[in-house]
C-alpha cells in the first residue's frame, strides 16, 4: 500500500476534527481515518450535556479568563496551565465554527447559541443542543468529512504501531470484514481512540468499545502514559446499567435526594449544591450510601435524582433522551418519579502524554481527545470540557500532523511483521489444554477495579487490586477465542480489547497506589488531603520488561497559584 | 443448544431466541439456531444476546456499542420488526410473539448481509454522499469561527427533530420501495436531505433538490409509512418526504419530472371528477412515447385478462362533486396560504 501522510486512528469527535483540519491545512495530503466502528457510532454521540465556551451569549460578563480559572481550579491544580489557556481561548472560535458548518445548537431568545449552567463553572457557558449535543456534533463532523472526501477504513481494528527505533513506520490493523491483517505505512499516526473507563465494565457509563486501544498500543510501543490513576466517576449513572444521566439534568434544576428526602448536597457544597464539581458530588453520593442514607434494592444501593418539580414541558423539550433512557432502562418516567442513580466510571483524565500540539515523544505519533493527556483536565475534568477538548485538540493535532507529515521519510512495513501479527492472532484462536474464558476474565477485571480502585481508595485495597490485575494478565495468556471464523469475528475483537484494558488497568492501579494524597477524582482514605509538596506533579507510566514503571513530570504553572479548592 | 434452568423462578421466564445464522465462509445458505435462556424482567434483547454470546455460543455475531440507544449499532429485526436491540425489552417483545416463548432475531433487510445479524452499511453511506447530506455553508471558509449565524426558534424547529436520526437503518430495513429497488434513495437519506434543505445556513438547496427529483429519488416513495412507524427515535420521516415534494413542486414547478406530473394529474382528476382516471394516468405522468414503449405489453395483458380501467368518458364524476369542488378549492387555498407564511 502507498504510504499515507496521516493515518488517524478513531472516528469520534477528535479523529474527525483532525481529519477535517488536516485536509483544510493541506488538501494535497493522503489522509485516512481508520475506525473500529462506523464513525457515526463513536462514543462522542453519547455526550449529552454540551461544550463550554465563553461566548457570553447567556451571561454577558463571562470571559475566557474565568473559563481558564474554573478549569484549573476544577483540575485541582494538576492541569498544565498553558494547555488550559489554549483550550479556553480556542473555545469560542471552535463552537462558532461548528455552528457555521451546520451543528444544530439550541438557541436563546436573541437567536444566538444557547448556553446553560454546568458543574464547577462560574457562569452559564455550556453550549448545547437539547441533550443530544455530542450526537449532533458527531453527525456534523461526519457529514463534513464525507463532503471533503476523507478516506475511511471503517471496522478496522488497530493492533500495533510498527516502530523502527524512535520512529513510527505506521500502523498494523485487522480488517473486521475479512479478518485480514493489513499494514498502513504512514508518515504520521494520530491516536484519537477515546477513553479507557470501560475497564470498570458494569460500573461504567462507557460504550462497550471504550477500551483504551490507542493508549494500550502507544504504551506497548514505549510511549509514556500520563496521570492514568485519574478516572472520573460521574455522580448520576443509572442504578442497573451504569448508563449516564447528563449533568444537564442538574443544570436544568434537578435535585439529589437521599432516602430521608433531604437535598444532602447542602452538607458538601452549600453554595453550588447539585452543581458542585463531579468528583465532589460523586463522593457525596457515595458517602450518603455508605452512611446508610441511600435507598436499597436488589440491583444495588442508590440515590434519587428528582426532576418531577421541573414539569413535563421542560423535561420533554430539554431532556428528552434522559426521559427515554430512564423509561427504557429503569422503567421510571422522570416526569412522575425520581430516577434511581449511583456514581459510575465515566471519563479517563489520563492518557497518552502529549505536548500542546498533540505530539508524543515518538516522532510522527500524535494523540488527541480522551485518549490523550495534554493535560487540560488534571485530576478532575469539568462537565462540558470533554467535548471541547476533543474539538480543540483534535483540530490542533490534525493541523500539526498536516504541517509536519512531509518532514518525515516514509518507510515500508515488512511482510514478515504483518505475518507475525496474524500468527499471534491465530495462535490465540487455537487453544490447547486448559484455557480461560473471556467473559470471566472481563467480569473479574470490572469487579476488582470497582472494588479496589474505585471512588474511595486505600493502600491495602490498591495492593489487592494490583495483584488481581497481574493475575488476570497471567490468566489472559491462556484465554480462548471460541469463534474460529475470519469474517467479522466479534469474539476475537472482545479478546483483543480485553488485552488492552488489562495492560492499562495495571497503570491505573499502580498510579493510584503510588500517589499518596487525595486530589480531584483520586481519593485516598489513608491520605485524605492534597499534598502539594510531594505530589503536585504528573504521574508517568512506561512499559518496561512487561510491567509498568512509574515516573513523574512537573506541572506547568504560570497563571494561578495553588489554592485550596472549595465550592 | 439449550441451557437448562434448574430452578424455575417466577421472576424469570425461559425464552427461546431463534437467531438467524450465516457465515459466508462455511454456509451456503442461512439457517436459524435456537437458544433457550432464562430472562428476568427489565432485560433488553441486546443483553440477552450478550448472555448467549458469553455463555452459550461465542460465535453468534452482532454489532453493539453504546448500549444506550444513541449510537445506532444494534439495529436488527426482532419478531420481524426492525428496532434497536438495546432499547427493546425482552418481556415486552415476548408479549407480542406469535409463537409463545419464542423471539425471532434476524438481520436488517435491504442491506447486504455480512454475517449473522451484521449487514453492510456502506450502501447507505454512499447514498448520503450522493445526495450531499451535509450543510454546505453559505459562509466562506476563511470567515468561519468569527461570528454565529442567527437562527430563530422557528428555523431551528424545522430541522430539530430530523437531527435526532442516529442512522440505525431501521427505516431502511422496513422500506417497501427498497425491497423492490435497492437504488432507491431510502428514507433515512431523504430525512437527512430534508434536514439540510430547510437549514438556512446551507447554500446548495437547489443542487440537492435537483438530485432528489431524479429517478430512484423522492417521487418513488409510495407512502406506506413503514419508515415512520419503525423509527426508533419517533421522527416523522413522512413529513420530511412530503416536505421535499412540496418544495420540489413549488420551486421546480408542476411540469418538472414524471413525479411532479403524476402528482399534478392526481390533483386535476380529483378536482374534476373526485376520483382517478387511471387509463390516461401513465400518459400524463410519463408521456405518450415512454408509455407506449414501456407499458404496452402490460396493457395488452390487462386487456386479455379484462383488468383494464374504464376509458375516460366512462369515469363519471362522484356524487356531490360540485360541493366537493368547493371544499377542494378552499383546501388548496389554505395550503397556499400556509406555504406563504412559512416562507416569511
| Any B CB within 8 A of A97 CB | yes
Q: Which residue has the higher pLDDT, A394 or B322?
A: A394
| Any A CB within 8 A of B167 CB | yes
Question: Is the model's pLDDT at B157 over the cut of 90?
Answer: yes
Say whether A415-554 and A238-342 share the same fold: no
Which of B71, B70, B85 lies closest to B116 in space, CA to CA? B85
| Any A CB within 8 A of B193 CB | no
Q: Are residues B98 and B131 in the same domain?
A: no
Distance CA B174, CA A545 (A): 54
Sole residue written with cell 470497582: A450
Count the neighbouring beta carbons within 10 Å of the beta carbon of residue B60.
Answer: 24
Distance CA B228, CA B216 (A): 19
Closest CB to A45 among B70, B141, B201: B70
Distance CA A375, CA A355 (A): 8
Residue B1 lies in a domain: no
| Any B CB within 8 A of A340 CB | no
Last residue of a domain, one of B223, B252, B281: B252
Question: Distance of CA A529 to CAs A353, A376, A379, A517, A524, Å?
Answer: 26, 22, 14, 6, 8
Q: Are residues B131 and B214 in the same domain?
A: yes
Q: Which residues, 6 or more positions from A384, have their beta carbon under 8 angstroms from its beta carbon?
A: A49, A50, A51, A52, A118, A121, A125, A126, A247
Q: Are residues B127 and B99 in the same domain?
A: no
At A14-53, the pLDDT tens digits run 999 999 999 999 999 999 999 999 999 999 999 988 999 9
| Any A CB within 8 A of B112 CB | no
HEC letters along A14-38: HHHHHHHHHHHHCCCCCEEEEECCC
Which of A60, A2, A79, A93 lies closest to A536 in space, CA to CA? A79
How confident is the model over B2-22, as a mean pLDDT? Answer: 71
Which of B35, B76, B72 lies closest to B57 in space, CA to CA? B35
* pLDDT at res. A260: 96
Most A CBs within 10 A among B116, B133, B134, hence the mutation to make, goes to B134
Residue B28 lies in a domain: yes
Residues 428-447 of A with CB under 8 A from B: 438-439
Which member of A67, A187, A250, A524 is catalytic? A250
CB neighbour burial string for B125-155, b if at least 16 within 10 angstroms, e if fewer: bebbeebbbbbbbebeeeebbeebbebeeeb
Q: Strands, DSSP E only, in chain B?
A: 12-21, 31-40, 75-78, 81-84, 102-106, 113-115, 118-119
DSSP of A62-87, one letter per residue?
Answer: --HHHHHHHHHHHTTT-S-HHHHHHH
Contact B55 A439 (CB under 8 A): yes
| CATH for B200 | 1.10.1060.10
Instruction: Give the range among A418-427, B123-132, B146-155, B331-340 with minimum mean pLDDT.
Output: B331-340
| Any A CB within 8 A of B125 CB | yes
Establish whether A203 is a catalytic residue: no
Helix-strand-coil split of chain A, %, nearest 5? 40, 20, 40
* Contact present, A52 and A426 (Cβ < 8 Å): no
Give φ, ψ of A467 to 5 degrees.
-60, -40
Average pLDDT, rounded, for chain B: 91
At A453-473, the pLDDT tens digits run 999 999 999 999 999 999 999
pLDDT confidence bin for B254, thresholds 50/70/90: confident
| Phi-psi sector, B42: left (phi>0), alpha (psi -120 to 50), beta | left
* pLDDT at res. A379: 97
Longest dimension (CA), chain B: 75
Structural element, H or E, at residue B238? helix B237-252
Q: Which residues, 6 or more positions from A119, have their beta carbon under 8 angstroms from its beta carbon?
A: A247, A250, A251, A272, A275, A276, A277, A278, A281, A382, A383
Count the neighbouring beta carbons within 10 Å of the beta carbon of residue A558.
Answer: 9
What residue spans define the domains of chain A?
A: 238-342, 415-554
What percent of chain B has pLDDT above 90?
68
Residues of chain B found within 8 Å of residue A132, distances taken between Cβ atoms:
70, 163-164
Kindly state the cell numbers that stand for A174: 485487522
Residues of chain A found within 8 Å of residue B146, distances taken between Cβ atoms:
93, 96
pLDDT confidence bin for A431, thresholds 50/70/90: low
Residues of chain A found within 8 Å of residue B150, distances taken between Cβ atoms:
110-112
Instruction: Give the range among B163-172, B214-223, B298-307 with minimum mean pLDDT.
Output: B298-307
At A528-551, the pLDDT tens digits run 999 999 999 999 999 999 999 999
Count interface pairs A-B at CB distance under 8 A. 168
Distance CA A118, CA A125 (A): 8
At A95-143, the pLDDT tens digits run 999 999 999 999 999 999 999 998 889 999 999 998 899 999 999 999 9
Q: Are residues B19 and B94 in the same domain?
A: yes
* Contact present, B135 and A101 (Cβ < 8 Å): yes
Q: Are residues B235 and B271 in the same domain?
A: no
Distance CA A517, CA A171 (A): 38
* pLDDT at res. A277: 84
Question: Distance of CA A419 to CAs A221, A415, A492, Å?
Answer: 18, 6, 17
Residue B3 lies in a domain: no
Question: Is the model's pLDDT at B209 over the cut of 90?
Answer: yes
What chain A residue is nearest to B89 in terms of C-alpha separation? A328
Structural element, H or E, at residue B253? none
At B47-77, the pLDDT tens digits run 999 999 999 999 999 999 999 899 999 999 9
Question: Is the model's pLDDT at A311 over the cut of 60?
Answer: yes
Tell which CATH classification among 1.20.58.100, 1.20.1250.20, 3.40.50.1370, 3.30.70.360 matches the domain A415-554. Answer: 1.20.58.100
Residues of chain B found within 8 Å of residue A143, distances taken between Cβ atoms:
128, 133-135
Sole residue written with cell 411540469: B255
Q: Which domain holds residue B298?
A: 266-343
CA distance, residue A490 to nearest chain B CA (Å):
6
Average pLDDT, rounded, for chain A: 95
Q: Are residues B131 and B233 in the same domain?
A: yes
Q: Are residues B99 and B207 in the same domain?
A: no
DSSP of B45-90, one letter per residue?
Answer: HHHHHHHHHHHT-TT-----SSSSSSS-TTEEEETTEEEEGGG-BH
HEC letters along A227-258: CCCCEEEEEEEECCCCCECCCHHHHCCCEEEC
CB neighbour burial string for B170-196, b if at least 16 within 10 angstroms, e if fewer: bbbbbbebbeeeeebbbbbbbbbbbbb
Look at chain B and report how many structural domains it folds into: 3
At B294-335, the pLDDT tens digits run 888 888 888 888 888 888 888 888 888 888 888 888 888 887
How confident is the model over A1-21, as a mean pLDDT? Answer: 95
Contact A40 B149 (CB under 8 A): no
Q: Are residues B324 and B281 in the same domain?
A: yes
Its CATH architecture, for the domain A238-342, is Alpha-Beta Complex (3.90)
| Any A CB within 8 A of B118 CB | yes
Q: Which residues, 6 or more positions from A58, have their beta carbon under 8 angstroms from its beta carbon?
A: A108, A114, A115, A116, A123, A124, A125
HEC letters along A536-549: CEEEEEEEECCEEE
* pLDDT at res. A177: 96
| Any B CB within 8 A of A104 CB | yes
How confident is the model over A148-166, as a mean pLDDT? Answer: 95
At A57-72, the pLDDT tens digits run 999 999 999 999 999 9
* pLDDT at res. B8: 38
Is the Cα dihedral A347, A352, A355, A358 positive or negative? negative
Question: Is the model's pLDDT at B4 over the cut of 50?
Answer: no
Count the neighbouring beta carbons within 10 Å of the beta carbon of residue B313.
Answer: 7
* Contact present, A9 and A383 (Cβ < 8 Å): no
Residue B261 lies in a domain: no
Q: Are residues B279 and B197 in the same domain?
A: no
pLDDT confidence bin for B6, thresholds 50/70/90: very low
* Contact present, A390 and A406 (Cβ < 8 Å): no
Strand order in the sheet with A115-116: A51-52, A126-127, A115-116
What chain B residue is nearest to A441 in terms of C-alpha separation? B54
Q: Are residues B129 and B229 in the same domain?
A: yes
Q: Are residues B239 and B317 in the same domain?
A: no
What percent of chain A has pLDDT above 90?
86
Give φ, ψ of A213 to 5 degrees.
-60, -50
* pLDDT at res. B267: 85
Residues of chain B found within 8 Å of residue A487, distances taken between Cβ atoms:
23-25, 114-115
Question: Distance of CA A551 to CAs A81, A227, A511, A539, B22, Å?
Answer: 21, 10, 10, 6, 50
Q: Are residues B248 and B125 in the same domain?
A: yes
Distance CA A292, CA A287 (A): 9
Which of B38, B34, B84 lies closest to B57 in space, CA to CA? B34
Which of B93, B117, B104 lies closest to B13 in space, CA to CA? B93
Distance CA A240, CA A364 (A): 43
What chain B residue is nearest to A330 in terms of C-alpha separation? B42
Kindly state the cell numbers that stand for B214: 431524479
Establish whether A304 is a catalytic residue: no
Distance CA A39, CA A192 (A): 12
CA distance, residue A488 to nearest chain B CA (Å):
7
At B224-239, the pLDDT tens digits run 999 999 999 999 999 9
Closest CB to A93 among B137, B141, B145: B145
Contact A101 B144 (CB under 8 A): yes
Contact A46 B68 (CB under 8 A): yes
Residues of chain A found within 8 Å of residue B68, distances taken between Cβ atoms:
46, 241, 243-244, 325, 329
Last residue of a domain, one of B193, B220, B252: B252
HEC letters along A296-320: CCCCCCEEEEECHHHCHHHHHHHCH
Which of A199, A243, A176, A103 lies closest to B71 in space, CA to CA? A243
What chain A residue is nearest to B155 in terms of C-alpha separation? A111
pLDDT confidence bin for B3, thresholds 50/70/90: very low
pLDDT confidence bin for B343, thresholds 50/70/90: low
Amino acid at each position: 500500500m502507498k504510504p499515507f501522510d496521516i493515518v488517524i486512528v478513531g472516528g469520534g469527535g477528535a479523529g474527525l476534527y483532525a481529519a477535517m483540519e488536516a485536509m483544510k491545512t493541506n488538501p494535497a495530503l493522503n489522509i485516512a481515518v481508520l475506525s473500529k466502528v462506523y464513525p457515526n457510532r463513536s462514543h462522542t454521540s453519547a455526550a449529552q450535556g454540551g461544550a463550554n465556551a465563553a461566548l457570553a451569549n447567556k451571561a454577558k460578563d463571562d470571559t475566557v479568563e474565568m473559563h481558564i480559572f474554573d478549569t484549573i481550579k476544577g483540575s485541582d491544580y494538576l492541569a498544565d496551565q498553558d494547555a488550559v489557556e489554549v483550550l479556553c481561548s480556542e473555545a469560542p472560535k471552535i463552537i462558532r465554527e461548528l455552528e457555521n458548518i451546520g451543528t444544530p445548537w439550541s438557541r436563546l431568545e436573541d437567536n444566538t447559541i444557547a448556553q446553560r449552567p454546568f458543574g464547577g463553572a462560574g457562569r452559564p457557558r455550556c453550549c448545547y443542543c437539547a441533550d443530544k449535543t455530542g450526537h449532533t456534533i458527531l453527525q456534523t463532523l461526519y457529514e463534513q468529512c464525507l463532503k471533503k472526501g476523507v478516506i475511511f477504513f471503517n471496522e478496522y481494528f488497530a493492533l500495533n504501531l510498527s516502530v523502527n527505533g524512535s520512529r513510527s513506520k505506521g500502523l498494523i490493523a485487522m480488517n473486521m470484514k475479512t479478518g485480514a491483517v493489513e499494514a498502513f505505512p504512514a508518515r504520521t499516526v494520530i491516536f484519537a481512540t477515546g477513553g479507557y473507563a470501560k475497564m470498570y465494565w458494569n460500573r461504567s457509563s462507557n460504550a462497550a468499545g471504550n477500551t483504551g486501544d490507542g493508549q494500550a498500543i502507544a504504551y506497548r510501543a514505549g510511549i509514556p502514559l500520563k496521570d492514568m490513576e485519574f478516572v472520573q466517576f460521574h455522580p448520576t449513572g443509572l442504578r442497573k446499567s451504569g448508563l449516564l444521566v447528563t449533568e444537564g439534568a442538574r443544570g436544568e434544576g434537578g435535585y439529589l435526594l437521599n432516602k430521608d428526602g433531604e437535598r444532602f448536597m447542602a452538607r458538601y457544597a452549600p453554595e453550588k449544591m447539585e452543581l458542585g464539581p463531579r468528583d465532589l458530588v460523586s463522593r457525596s453520593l457515595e458517602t450518603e450510601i455508605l452512611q446508610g442514607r441511600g435507598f436499597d434494592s436488589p440491583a444495588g444501593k442508590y440515590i434519587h435524582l428528582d426532576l418531577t418539580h421541573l414539569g413535563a414541558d421542560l423535561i420533554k423539550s430539554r431532556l428528552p433522551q434522559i426521559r427515554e433512557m430512564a423509561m427504557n432502562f429503569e422503567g421510571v418516567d422522570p416526569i412522575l418519579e425520581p430516577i434511581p442513580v449511583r456514581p459510575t466510571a465515566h471519563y479517563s483524565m489520563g492518557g497518552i502524554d502529549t505536548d500542546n500540539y498533540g505530539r508524543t515523544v515518538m516522532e510522527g505519533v500524535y494523540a488527541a481527545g480522551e485518549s490523550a493527556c495534554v493535560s487540560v483536565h488534571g485530576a478532575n475534568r469539568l462537565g462540558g470540557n470533554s467535548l471541547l477538548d476533543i474539538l480543540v485538540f483534535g483540530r490542533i493535532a490534525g493541523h500539526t500532523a498536516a504541517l509536519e507529515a512531509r518532514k518525515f521519510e516514509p518507510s515500508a512495513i515488512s511482510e514478515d511483521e504483518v505475518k507475525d501479527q496474524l500468527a499471534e492472532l491465530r495462535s490465540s484462536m487455537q487453544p490447547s489444554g486448559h484455557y480461560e474464558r473471556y467473559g470471566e476474565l472481563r467480569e473479574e477485571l470490572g469487579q476488582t477495579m470497582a472494588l479496589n480502585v474505585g471512588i474511595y481508595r486505600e493502600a491495602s485495597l490498591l495492593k489487592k487490586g494490583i495483584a488481581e490485575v497481574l493475575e488476570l494478565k497471567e490468566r489472559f495468556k491462556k484465554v480462548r477465542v471460541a469463534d474460529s471464523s475470519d469474517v467479522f469475528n466479534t469474539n476475537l475483537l472482545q479478546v483483543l480489547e480485553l488485552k488492552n484494558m488489562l495492560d492499562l488497568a495495571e497503570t491505573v492501579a499502580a498510579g493510584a497506589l503510588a500517589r499518596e494524597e487525595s486530589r480531584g477524582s483520586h481519593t485516598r482514605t489513608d491520605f485524605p488531603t492534597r499534598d502539594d509538596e510531594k505530589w503536585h506533579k504528573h504521574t508517568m507510566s512506561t512499559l518496561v520488561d512487561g510491567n509498568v514503571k512509574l515516573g513523574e513530570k512537573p506541572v506547568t504553572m504560570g497563571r494561578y497559584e495553588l489554592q485550596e479548592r472549595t465550592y | 443448544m439449550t441451557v437448562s434452568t434448574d430452578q424455575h423462578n417466577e421472576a424469570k421466564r425461559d425464552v427461546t431466541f431463534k437467531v438467524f445464522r450465516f457465515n459466508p465462509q462455511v454456509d451456503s445458505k442461512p439457517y436459524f439456531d435456537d437458544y433457550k435462556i432464562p430472562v428476568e424482567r427489565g432485560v433488553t434483547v441486546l443483553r440477552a444476546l450478550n448472555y448467549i454470546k458469553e455463555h452459550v455460543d461465542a460465535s453468534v455475531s452482532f454489532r453493539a456499542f453504546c448500549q444506550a440507544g444513541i449510537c445506532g449499532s444494534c439495529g436488527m429485526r426482532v419478531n420481524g420488526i426492525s428496532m434497536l436491540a438495546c432499547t427493546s425489552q425482552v418481556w415486552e417483545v415476548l408479549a407480542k410473539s406469535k409463537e409463545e416463548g419464542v423471539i425471532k432475531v434476524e438481520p436488517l433487510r435491504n442491506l447486504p448481509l455480512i454475517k449473522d445479524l451484521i449487514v453492510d452499511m456502506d450502501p447507505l453511506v454512499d447514498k448520503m454522499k450522493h445526495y450531499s447530506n451535509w450543510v454546505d455553508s453559505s459562509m466562506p471558509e476563511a470567515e468561519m469561527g468569527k461570528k454565529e449565524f442567527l437562527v430563530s426558534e422557528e428555523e431551528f424547529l424545522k430541522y430539530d427533530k430530523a437531527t435526532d436520526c442516529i442512522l440505525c437503518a431501521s427505516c431502511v430495513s422496513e422500506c417497501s420501495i427498497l425491497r423492490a429497488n435497492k437504488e432507491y434513495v431510502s428514507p433515512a437519506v431523504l430525512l437527512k436531505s430534508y434536514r439540510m434543505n430547510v437549514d438556512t445556513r446551507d447554500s446548495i438547496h437547489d443542487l440537492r433538490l435537483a438530485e432528489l427529483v431524479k429517478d430512484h429519488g423522492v417521487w418513488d416513495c409510495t407512502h406506506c409509512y413503514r419508515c415512520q412507524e419503525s423509527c426508533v427515535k419517533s421522527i416523522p420521516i413522512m413529513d420530511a418526504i412530503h416536505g421535499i415534494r412540496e418544495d420540489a413542486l413549488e420551486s421546480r414547478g408542476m411540469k418538472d419530472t414524471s413525479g411532479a406530473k403524476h402528482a399534478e394529474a392526481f390533483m386535476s382528476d380529483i378536482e374534476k371528477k373526485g376520483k382517478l382516471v387511471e387509463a390516461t394516468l401513465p400518459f400524463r405522468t410519463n408521456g405518450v412515447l415512454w408509455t407506449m414503449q414501456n407499458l404496452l405489453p402490460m396493457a395488452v395483458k390487462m386487456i386479455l385478462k379484462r383488468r383494464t380501467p374504464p376509458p375516460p368518458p366512462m369515469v363519471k364524476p362522484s356524487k356531490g362533486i360540485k360541493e366537493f369542488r368547493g371544499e377542494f378549492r378552499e383546501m388548496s387555498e389554505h395550503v397556499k396560504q400556509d406555504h406563504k407564511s412559512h416562507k416569511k
